Amino acid sequence: TIVCKLVFRRLQAKAHVLDDAALDLGLQKQIKRMSLLAIFLFSSDLYLFRLTLLFSGTEFLVRFPTFEALIFLAFFILHLVIVWAFAWEVQDRIMPHTLSRRDYIRSNLSISLPAILPWFIISILADLIPFLPFEAVRVFLLSPQGEILFILGLLTPIAILAPVMIARFWRCKPLSDSPERSIIENVCQKAGLKYKSILQWDLFGGGMITAGVMGLIARFRYILVTPAMVRVLNPKEIEAVILHEIGHVQKRHMLFYLLFFIGFMLVIYFLTDPMILLLYLAWPIFQAAAFIGISKAEFAPVLFSGILILMFILYFRYLFGFFMRNFERQADIHVFSFMDNAIPLITTFHKIAAFSRQSPDKPSWHHFSISERVAFLKRCHFNPRLIDTHHKKIRYFLGIYVMVMILACFCGYAISYGWAKDGFEGFVTQQLIKHELKINPENSDLYVLVGDYYYGLKKHKKAIEAYENVLRIDPENVHALNNLSWLLSTCPDTELIDPSRALDLAQRAVKIEPLPHILDTHAQACFLNRDFQCAMDMAMAALEKATDKQSYYRDQLDRFKRAYDATLN
């Protein structure tokens, strides 16, 4: 609150030396900066100050974690409300008495909150999966493949029906009968666009000159227009704006937006687990955190959240923003399909700049500036081939996007759930163990992990070396004694077989902890040394103590008995 107050009051103090365009540009920059600060403070509250523990143990929230997430989301939105509350003071200097502070905050909320609607529906339904009465369905939906189908299966109906819910949330109402409504209806009829209704959109009090369209299918498609648009624009300009919105529909931009959203969700879904594993290899970062007194366990969630936020910003700010800007340009040039020139759209852009008191050169992450849009329309008027060139450019980059997303999802699936999972996890484990051994070379437990890792990879020589290192540091480490004995008794590489060493290790392990699997190792070592009576005794003891794998221990006993009987014959 203090930072926002100082920043926006300082900007407000400069109002007398800045024109409206410069003041608006400064306002938007500070809103972005304060929003990023809100994200940082919110993450710090969650992980550094352990607010995530606030509701731990609450049975309802444990069963339905979506509601816990909503509580924390509301807490984050409170941060943004503080930003908007102080930003309004500057906004009111630019366009005085057009919108109260409450309406300004409410308008920002109404624009932002529908974005969480898909997440909320999918998340709350996912919370209900464990309570399904059909076990086969429940098990499938909790599997990786089931989760993917669950999410994709819900996104389609949500995307289709969302315009109905959003229109009600925004309190849109049908545009009253008027000459302007007739113009819009005639343009849609001429362009062949079907829709559900034409709605009045009171965005920021209805004082913005803008329009919109939402809906993937005609039955749930709405055309939105603000009161300022129908009041300020002349008939030709209204027609040009609606043709722009029709361009979004006929070029399937909303379908592509859904594709981008799904692409981001799939990439995050497939790459989350690998990213978490790789984070633990970021030793310099954790060492820096430890230097200022933050443990690895405390800092890891903060770092992971920061990476997710960064990925979100990069994906939507740059990749999604690139396509949005070019889709807007594609919608702009759609007017050439129905009008002889783009002059009405150009004059509309000039009115938007003048009415909003913004510079026509003002940059935007999702739109080219008004000056750039006007210049491109003029170039297309004198060189119509630029229109086809732009369409081809979009198709080209969409193809690249699809191929990259398919490759990313394929690699992510292979690493997280498929054929590369074991190899990737083994690589990360190996690097972690090597790093820890450099720090603490006398840690016998780490050498045990190294031995098990190499044993799993069937690198027997390295496994033996690791287990020997364990016993050098900790001669009574049962795990190492048992595994090394088994390896020296059963290794496929016969050069590594060592009967006497294997028996000695097994005897030492049994004295310390005579568990079934250790007795079985002792039996194997006795068998290798042709002491069949000892092998049978140890195998019988293992079978008697075993609570599982009894068929295995019985087979071992039968094998040793057959070998003993063969010596008698």
Low pLDDT (below 70) residues in the chain = 47-53, 56-57, 96-97, 280, 283, 295-298, 301, 429-430, 432-447, 457, 569
Contact criterion met (CB below 8 Å) for 435 and 283 = yes
Strands 211-214 and 173-174 turn out to be unpaired
* pLDDT at residue 569, as a whole number: 66
Contact present, 22 and 359 (Cβ < 8 Å) = yes
Query: Rounded to whole angstroms, how far apart are CA atoms 506 and 405?
Result: 53
> What is residue 65's three-state secondary structure?
helix
Cβ(7)–Cβ(32) below 8 Å: no
- Cβ atoms of 254 and 217 closer than 8 Å: no
Nearest one of 8, 173, 4, 207 to 99, comparing CA atoms: 207
What pLDDT shows up at residue 142?
79
Q: Is 469 exposed, middle or buried (0-12, 13-18, 19+ CB in 10 A)?
A: buried
- The label of the residue with tokens 């039955």 reads 219
Distances, alpha carbon 323 to alpha carbons 195, 248, 562, in Å: 25, 12, 74
Confidence at residue 406, expressed as pLDDT on a 0 to 100 scale = 92
Instruction: Tell me the C-alpha distance between 329 and 387, whole Å.
Output: 10
C-alpha 317/C-alpha 365 separation (Å) is 6
Burial 489-525 (b: 16+ CB within 10 A, else e): bebeeeeeebbeebbebbebbbeeeebbbbbbbbbbb
pLDDT at 434: 67
For 7, other C-beta atoms within 10 Å of its C-beta total 19
Q: Which two tokens stand for residue 305?
A: 């959240």
Q: Are 503 and 529 in contact (CB under 8 A)?
A: yes
Sign of the CA dihedral with 250 first, then 254, 255, and 256 last: positive
- Report how far residue 537's alpha carbon sits from residue 507's, in angstroms, rounded to the nearest whole number: 13
| Secondary structure string (H, E, C) spanning 115-182 | HHHHHHHHHHHHHHHHHCCCHHHHHHHCCHHHHHHHHHHHHHHHHHHHHHHHHHHCCCEECCCCHHHH
What is the rounded CA–CA span in Å between residue 490 and residue 528?
Answer: 9
- The answer to whether 87 touches 9, Cβ cutoff 8 Å, is no
- Angle (nearest 5°) at CA 361 between 357 and 363: 100
Pick from 11, 123, 113: which is nearest to 68 by CA?
123
CA pair distance 66, 125, nearest whole angstrom = 9
Q: Which of 569, 542, 545, 568 is nearest to 555 (CA)?
A: 542
Rounded to an integer, what distance in angstroms lies between the CA atom of residue 207 and that of residue 210?
9
The residues near 330 (Cβ < 8 Å, ≥ 6 apart) are: 247, 251, 253, 390, 391, 394
Which residue in this structure is represented by tokens 């704006």? Answer: 241
Taking the alpha carbons at both ends of the chain, their separation in whole angstroms is 93
Read off φ and ψ for residue 429, nearest 5 degrees: -60, -45
Q: Which distant-in-sequence residues (6+ apart) come within 8 Å of 25 by Cβ?
A: 358, 359, 362
- Per DSSP, 337 falls in state G
DSSP structural state of residue 495: G
Asked whether 433 and 449 are in contact (CB, 8 A), the reply is yes
Phi, psi for 224 (deg, rounded to 5): -110, 135
- Between CA 280 and CA 428 the distance in angstroms is 8
Q: Where are the alpha helices (DSSP H) in 234-369?
A: 235-250, 253-279, 283-291, 296-314, 321-332, 343-356
Residues 6+ apart with CB under 8 A from 85: 4, 101, 105
Give yes or no for a contact between 528 and 520, defined as CB atoms under 8 angstroms apart: no
At 128, which amino acid appears? L
Is the Cα torsion angle 342, 345, 349, 355 positive or negative in sign?
Answer: positive
